[in-house]
Amino acid sequence: MNEKPELEIAPIGVVIPRLDPYRRLLARFYEPLFLLKALGQTRGEHTPEPTNSDARMETRRRFLRNLAYVCDFEKGGDSCTAIGLENCQTGYCFWVASNKKSDKIITFLNKALGVLRGANSLPTSDLAATESDLTQLCTDFATRRITLEHKNFQREAARCISRLQEKTSGTAEEPLAEQIIDWLRMAMNFVDRIELCKFAYDHRASVYVGKLMTEALQEESISGPAGMRSCFALARHHILRLAHHIRAPKELVADSCHLEHLLEAYNVRGADSLPSVPSPVRDSHTNLRGILNRMYRTDGEEKKAVEDGLLYLNRVSFSNIFKHFMEQYTLPGTLVHAEVQILEHFYRRKLSFVDGDKFVACSKPACLCCELYFRHHPARMVVPSSHFKVWTRWSPPLVKEFTKHSTAAREQKQIMSKITQAVRDQITDQVLRRTQASQWHPDSRTCVTEIRPSDSFNLFEVQGKICKNREFVADILDTTEGESEELVEDIDSDDGGVSIKV
């Protein structure tokens, strides 16, 4: 088996200058980005959604976020959807972009808005029928996503059952553990996707879900921040993701009743797709000291300390950091993310956001690079919430003529220089402290009403219902929507960094 290539410490042979200014700018961005990914993909906890004191604006933002969510019809990144709302002369325009362009998203969104528009003329007593129609439409559209989310839940639930059986083996019977096992098995066995999602929604604040969190906290407190996520945390996560397929349509119907004006005259259009920059290519400059020379213009104590720190962290990771760095150059293609496409579409066309609210809704929180791109863009956008994870296939929009007289080139150089510096600063901070990156967490998240501690009692003591195969499912606890919101994330790929024992 061929040994994976490692990042060289110093240049070998003749170093050929990088004469092309655009290639040089991009290389100086991707080098620290790849290094940061190798040090650990997850750079921090999720940041909260941007807030505003204007209740009408908050309602509109939630409406747009839920629209983007129901458009994201499959797991992975391809159908990740972003929406910007334009105030135009003829009414309103919902501009839509996805990571991988899909006309079916435009068609679906038109149908969904049509259902919501029809609800505005109905009395409150008839809104349940609209919720049902919209839920059916959304779950049909997201069939593949729901199927995979259920499979993910089944995998983690099976692990939870094994873990609970191990814990209770040879000990006095623990009724709650038996209840959790029965509940997990029931959730695993659903076939109808709407019934599955309704079950998840009805039990989102139950003691069962609370028990999963309790078990997860116990396990992860033992494993520490460097450990894998507990199967209990992941099972809880997946069941709550399934619940959001019910919650999102409910919120859309509720919010549409306060946003009738948006649905009186509107159209849905796809934003222009933006080409990405070419995939970075390693060259004679791709070595540790070359990268550090570009990070630090002059020699100094910090530069030497960062080099020593990187060599140390690579050594304790059995050279995996430098190997993982080089692997990033083998990944296929780059991609302009959906929210960046919407940002640039409005900026380049000088379009007006509704009420001047420069907000772009997205079906997932922004990655680290998207968050930095919004933060440093001259458009002065609302900075989106972020999962603070590094995705090395991320790309800024391609500038076709990168010349010193080009406004687009000058603006991108300013943006990318600031992003590059922010990435370099994160490397410096972690290496000087010789610490691990944050514990892995999934990209996406959804809101769920958290269980109250006072509700943690034995559900066998409350009125319930007997199901087939002696499966007992208690009625859900009475909870008030919005009493306490917790963010629960979506699953994606592995962490992408390496395990560092320090």
Q: What is the pLDDT of residue 457?
A: 34
| Element holding 119 (H helix, E strand) | helix 103-119
Residue 12 has pLDDT above 90, yes or no: no
Q: DSSP code of 15?
A: P
Determine the residue type at 189: N
The H or E element spanning position 239 is helix 231-256
Percent of the chain clearing pLDDT 90 (strictly above)? 71
* Sequence-separated (6 or more) residues with CB below 8 Å from residue 180: 160, 164, 208, 211, 212
**Selected residue with higher pLDDT from 172 and 195:** 195
Average pLDDT over residues 147-175: 88
Burial of 477 (0-12, 13-18, 19+ CB in 10 A): buried
Beta pairing class for 485-489 and 464-466: unpaired
Q: Characterize 117-146 residue by residue with b for buried, 16 or more Cβ atoms within 10 angstroms of its Cβ, and e for exposed.
A: eebeeeeeeebeebbebbbebbbebbeebb
Greater pLDDT, 252 or 462: 252
Greater pLDDT, 487 or 277 = 277
352 neighbors 88 (Cβ within 8 angstroms): yes
The two structure tokens encoding residue 305:
């300390």
Q: Which residues make Cβ contacts (< 8 Å) with residue 280, sequence separation at least 6?
A: 26, 27, 30, 34, 329
Minimum mean pLDDT range among 122-131, 297-306, 354-363, 427-436: 122-131
In this prediction, residue 193 carries a pLDDT of: 96
pLDDT at 269: 98
Tell me the C-alpha to C-alpha distance, in Å, between residue 324 and each of 181, 292, 312: 40, 18, 15
- DSSP conformation letters of 164-217: HHHHHTTS---HHHHHHHHHHHHHHT--SHHHHHHHHHHTTTSHHHHHHHHHHH
Tokens of 333: 């293609």
Kindly report the pTM of this predicted structure: 0.86
Which of residues 486 and 266 earns the better pLDDT score? 266
Task: Give me the pLDDT at residue 17, please.
Answer: 87
* CA 145 from centroid of its chain's CA atoms: 15
Rounded average pLDDT over 370-395: 96
Widest CA span in the chain: 79
Give the pLDDT confidence score for residue 455 in this predicted structure.
36
In this prediction, residues 287-300 reach a mean pLDDT of: 94
pLDDT on residue 126: 80
Q: 350-375: buried (b, 16+ CB within 10 Å) or exposed (e) per residue? A: ebebbeebbbbbbbbbbbbbbbbbbb
By DSSP bridging, strand 445-449 and strand 485-489 are: antiparallel
How far is the C-alpha of 46 from the C-alpha of 366, rounded, in Å? 10
User: What mean pLDDT, rounded, does the chain reach?
Assistant: 86
Higher pLDDT: 500 or 252? It is: 252
How do residues 384-432 score in pLDDT, each as one tens digit? 999 889 999 999 999 999 999 999 999 999 999 999 999 999 999 999 9
Q: 4-18, 67-81, 261-275: lowest mean pLDDT where?
A: 4-18
Confidence of residue 473 (pLDDT cuts 50, 70, 90): very low
Hey, what are 303's tokens?
């530069």
Give the whole-angstrom CA distance, residue 177 versus residue 169.
11
Residue type, 127: L
54-87 pLDDT tens trace: 999 999 999 999 999 999 999 988 999 999 999 9
